[in-house]
Amino acid sequence: MKHRRLLFLIIGLLLALSLTLAACGPSVPTPEAEEPEPAPTEVEAAPAEEEEAAPPEEEEEAAPSEEEEAAPAEEAGADPNALPRNETLYFNGQQWGSVVGWNPYSNNNNNAMTIAQQDNARVLMFETAYLYNMLDSQVYPLLADGPYEWNADRTEITFSIKPAAHWSDGTPVTAEDYAYTWATHVKYNTPTGAANIDYIDDIVAVDDGTVMVKAKLDEDGNALNPLLVEAYLSTNYFIQKAWTQTLEERVGNDATALLADPAEDVVYSGPYHKYFADDSKVVLIRDDNYWGQDASMWGSLPVPKYLAHVIFKDNAAGTTALQAGEVDVSQQFNSNVNLLWEQDGLPISTYVPDPPYMIGASLPTAFFNLDSPGLDQVAVRKAIAMAVDYPTIIANAMTNQSATFDQVPRSLMNPTEGEQALYDHEAVADLQWVGNDIEGANALLDEAGIVDTDGDGWREYEGENLSYVATCPNGWSDWQAGIEVVAAAGAEIGIEITSNYPEWSVYQTVVTKSDAPLPEGYDIFMMWSDGAGPTQPWGRIRKLMSSEFIGMSSNWNGNWGMYANPDADAIIQAIPAETDPDALREMYTDLVRIYLTEVPSFTLMYRPQSFHTVNETVWTNFPYEGDGTNPPVPPLNLMDGWSVAGLYNLELVNP
Amino acid sequence: MKGYRNYFLTKLLWFLVTLVVAFILNFTLPRLMPGDPVAAIVARMAQGMSNTTGVQAIYEQYTELFGTNRPIVEQFFIYMRNVFRGDFGFSFSQYPRTVADVLRTSIGWTIALQFPAIVVGWSIGNWLGALAAYRKGTFDKILMPASIFASSLPAFGMAIILLVIFAVSLKWLPTSGGYGYDLIPNFSWRFMWSVITHYQLPFWSIVLITIGGQAIGMRAMAIYELNSDYVKYSRFMGIKDGKIVRYVFRNAMLPQITGLALAIGTMLFGAVVAEVIFSYPGLGSTILTAVLGQDYPLVSATTLIITIMALLANFIIEIIYGILDPRIKAAQAD
């Protein structure tokens, strides 16, 4: 009897707690009556860089007919707090942890669905002037109207704004908004301001619809870095002047408060905005007044009404949800992704049906500490790099979701066609090792006189055994698998390499401190490199090889092994101003030659810009290789750069 | 009465001393970890930054804002002053969210999961343990190995077994989340039902393990009690079995109650495994992330809350013991 009472008490308690939790949930707006989905459309546009390019093609897409609008909404009686599956596109792998804010001036929002001002800017809520397409390395106008133009001296860029573009409050997007956005970045030293102030002198409104971006000039009157000035147009958002002024007033013009403001009232120009966010999920809802449905841009609204991202706590939970059909677009590493369709028979696919399944974009790289005894010798560095068994790394660490070095020979370029075309493959072919070359590595060391004289099995340099520690952060499983293979390679060629995995919080502090020699235990260490973007491959090469980062106490840029080569520095500095394609190709080839000869670091695998795996249980017509879209829609989860065009092509499996 | 007052005052004094030491340790220990928490924030801010001066400026701005560039003693006094005002400051890892805001949104889930699970697991476990001791025979022979099995399974093992069987294979229950992936929190039966179904697997993954451990402990205690003189005497007196079991249960329960109090006191830490495996919202995984990300304010605040809860639970239990069991009071008041 007593136990029964206890049981009732417990059940009552559970219910009470559930109710409390439910009641605690923030209120959400009631969705409007459901509208019929606009028919899918193949969006086409012309690259912005071609001067003679026609404006984006006018879409013949008709607005939903009156008949359709008048039709009673199917889900009129549906639960307003449930997201209709046929109108919601689910994601994973983007948002880890709760959203902190919606402030486009700050990088501290942890708001992966809407804010990322980067090489492939995220444009669901806030928009850039141009959209970068990593597949053809072109930019296409978004808020801008047609291509941008450099003046004759390449010191000023001018572009106009689409007359149809308007903010979520209905007011037009103007050049003054863009100019004021820049002025605010500078005034409050936002990350965007700090990142660009060395290259952009000013952004001004020529008139309401025309923007001029003025480059910072060197003493000769040339733009310091035209490449970064161009990149600004596709990587940074338009933010409304009127809202910015409201924000400034709210925070009393205080820079720290401005960046810390959660900006729940922000005005935006993009097709989606906040519908709901808590510790468990983020939901965006389509703005049906989005300007982009104008014929001068997309000609229709994006297909899904809601974009939702459940916040998973690890990859395993995300993969389970993908398998269950609760996730449509997966931006996370799903181990052995091919088994999902080959073995489980699920309607899941990747951008490319066969290995490497994804388009590689960044180059996870092992850096040598060039101050470690012996690692200052090219022969030792190159021998280690030659002996590494890369196919094992790619098979184990990436479960074949990376191209091999047979398929894409190593250079400084990622596997995209645009970058591969930038250097002379023939000229450096004899320098491109594919790995597992124990014989070659041993011969190289013997030739350099670095041999085992005391017979203990380890080679010596200047009387000391060659003994190193290879390291990467603990728990970064793909990097750890790579480091283990590097250590195993050392043993094959008489170089002792042990592995060590400190926590990321410690690792990052040590590795990014470039104003002092790296401490013991960091002889060979992993870091990332840039992916695909409008400044690439120049940006990536700069961060792998430029000596300008040596001496920084907080170096989040690159060259963490502190390599210095004046020849490489000179080429890296000259590339941004160079416009002749042949000269550029020659410069890039020279850089690849230097890199593969001196081996200051070496790439272990290729990694996609975003993982892009889709489940076609509910939605279909996702981008895939050779899908016929023109320009091709890149596999960036339908939210980054030109990839957003994919949202207009989606179709329901069961309409 | 005087004896009890002395006992109470001694316990209170020790409670306060421990609290002060714990407060200092809560502040100091996280800050002794190697590494620089501001570097992680700068890493986020530096995305897409390509010049050298910008990153440096941002680093300095944040060390100033969080005060990590000041001497640790000064940081301690600032921390102490703020804590007494109930202000734990900004969370480093979720800046610009405050620690209070982070705790507010996740603590409810953890308590709702842990508290009933601990109470239910504890109650069922003790009841089964006492029953096994009293009934012996087949019941005991089945329960004992089952309890040993359940209690020796690691928490993640139990969680994964339940996940694979009931969510992935049988599809009776959802695989992850605190409520339906397609729902927005609201006051409706559908949502509440969703919360209840999502609750089951994390809940039982904790309960089953708790039951095993409690049953083993209770069985041993009860067997000891069953052989004591008062039980034999009761039997000679012809007192009914049910009543005797109740006497035994009450006496055997004293050490189990200490365990219960401590489990409740430290429950905020306890559900990390269930939270991660079932992607269940809550504080456990937030604390884990905070520790790994060197989020000093969040780590200090949560450990302080847990310390106070554990100390309070312990203190209350000792006070109650003093009343329940005069032997303890007598032994300690001397």
| pLDDT tens digit sequence for A80-120 | 789 999 999 999 999 988 999 999 999 889 999 999 988 88
Which pLDDT does position B331 carry in this prediction? 66
- Measure CB to CB from residue B178 to each of A235, A280, A316 and give the nearest one: A280
Q: Is the pLDDT of residue A366 over 50?
A: yes
Q: CB of A427 within 8 Å of any CB in chain B? A: no
Spacing of C-alpha B166 from chain mean position: 25
Residues of A in contact with B43 (CB under 8 A): 508, 512, 556
**What is the DSSP track for A234-275?**
HHSB---HHHHHHHHHHTTT-HHHHHH---TT----SSEEEE
- Backbone φ and ψ for A197, nearest 5 degrees, come out as -60, -25
DSSP string, B88-124: --B-STTTTSBHHHHHHHHHHHHHHHHHHHHHHHHHH
Alpha-carbon distance of A187 to A197, in angstroms, equals: 11
Gap from A293 CA to chain B (nearest CA, Å): 27
Confidence bin at A499 (pLDDT 50/70/90): very high
B246 contacts in A (CB within 8 Å)?
A: none
A108 touching chain B per CB within 8 A: yes
A432 Cβ contact list (under 8 Å, min separation 6):
A405, A409, A410, A411, A596
The verdict on a CB contact (< 8 Å) between A506 and B48 is no
Q: What is the pTM of this model?
A: 0.87
CA closest to B193 among chain A residues: A18
Q: At what angle do helices B189-226 and B99-135 cross, to 10 degrees?
A: 40
- State how far the Cα of A122 lies from the Cα of A104, in Å rounded to an integer: 11
| Structure tokens belonging to residue A455 | 């017979």
Residue numbers in B near A6 (CB within 8 A): 123
A118 close contact with B: CB closer than 8 A: yes
- What is the rounded distance in angstroms from the CA atom of residue B319 to the CA atom of residue A439? 76
Q: Is the pLDDT reported for residue A344 higher than 50?
A: yes
Q: B95 CB near a chain A CB, below 8 Å? A: yes
Write down the pLDDT at residue B144. 83
Residue type, A370: L
pLDDT reported for residue B60: 80
CA distance A367 to A626: 36
Residue of B nearest to A539 (CA): B50
Res A29: pLDDT: 39
> Does the beta-carbon distance from A108 to B276 stay under 8 Å?
no
- C-alpha of A237 from chain center: 16
Nearest Cα of chain B lies from the Cα of A22 at a distance, in angstroms, of 6
Classify the C-alpha dihedral A16-A18-A21-A27 as positive or negative. Answer: negative
| Chain B contact set for A281 (CB, 8 A) | 177, 181
Give B-chain residues touching A83 at CB under 8 angstroms: 182-184
Residue of B nearest to A228 (CA): B50
- pLDDT at position A21 over 50: no
CB contact under 8 A, B41 and A108: yes
Comparing alpha-carbon positions, the chain A residue that sits nearest to B124 is A3
- Burial (0-12, 13-18, 19+ Cβ within 10 Å), A443: middle
Q: Is B199 helix (H, G, I), strand (E, B) or coil?
A: helix
Q: Which residues of B touch A316 (CB under 8 A)?
A: 277
**DSSP classification of residue A398:** S
Q: What residue in B sits closest to A186 (Cα-Cα)?
A: B54
| Residue A18: DSSP 8-state | H
Q: Å from B1 to nearest chain A CA?
A: 33
- The answer to whether A215 and A229 are in contact (CB under 8 A) is yes
Sketch out chain A's domains with CATH numbers: 2-75 (no CATH), 130-260 (3.90.76.10), 272-358+610-652 (3.40.190.10), 360-608 (3.10.105.10)
Nearest residue to B166 (alpha-carbon basis) of B203, B121, B200: B200
Q: Do B51 and A189 touch (CB under 8 A)?
A: no
* Contact across the interface for B182 and A88, Cβ inside 8 Å: yes
Cα Rg of chain A, angstroms: 27
From 1.20.1250.20, 1.10.3720.10, 3.90.1150.10, 3.20.20.210, which CATH number describes the B99-333 domain? 1.10.3720.10
Q: Say whether residue B295 is in contact with chain A using an 8 A CB cutoff.
A: no
User: Is the link from the previous residue into A56 a cis peptide, with omega within 30 of 0?
Assistant: no
Residue from A21, A454, A36 nearest B198 by CA: A21
Dist. CA A248–CA B242, nearest whole Å? 74
Give the rounded percent of residues in chain A with a pLDDT score beyond 90: 79
Q: Let me know the angle formed at the C-alpha of A102 by A100 and A106, rounded to the nearest 5 degrees.
A: 85
Report residue A125 as tokens: 């809520």
Average pLDDT of span A425-441: 95
The reply to whether residue A107 touches residue B47, judged by beta carbons under 8 angstroms, is: yes
User: For chains A and B, what is the number of CB pairs under 8 angstroms?
Assistant: 236
Segment A44-57 shows an average pLDDT of 41
Chain A hits for B273, CB-CB cut-off 8 Å, are none
Average pLDDT over residues A159-178: 98
Q: Which member of A21, A88, A107 has the closest CB to residue B195?
A: A21
More confident residue, A23 or B200: B200
Is the CB of A17 inside 8 Å of chain B's CB atoms?
A: yes
- The predicted-structure confidence for B125-143, as pLDDT tens digits, reads as follows 988 888 888 778 888 888 8
Q: Which residues pair with B23 in a beta bridge?
A: none
Contacts 24+ apart (CB under 8 A), B315-319: B315/B11, B315/B12, B315/B15, B316/B261, B317/B257, B317/B258, B317/B261, B318/B11, B319/B8, B319/B11
DSSP letter at B14 equals: H
- Between CA A247 and CA A628 the distance in angstroms is 44
Q: Which residues of chain B have pLDDT under 50?
A: none
Number of H helices, E strands in chain A: 19, 24
pLDDT digits (tens, 9 = 90+) for A230-287: 999 999 999 999 999 999 999 999 988 999 999 999 999 999 999 999 989 999 999 9
Q: What is the C-alpha to C-alpha distance for residues B111 and A621, in angstroms, rounded to an integer? A: 44
CA proximity to A167, closest of A287, A19, A274: A287
Q: Does B168 touch chain A (CB under 8 A)?
A: yes
Question: Chain B neighbours among A 19-78 (CB < 8 Å)?
Answer: 19-26, 28
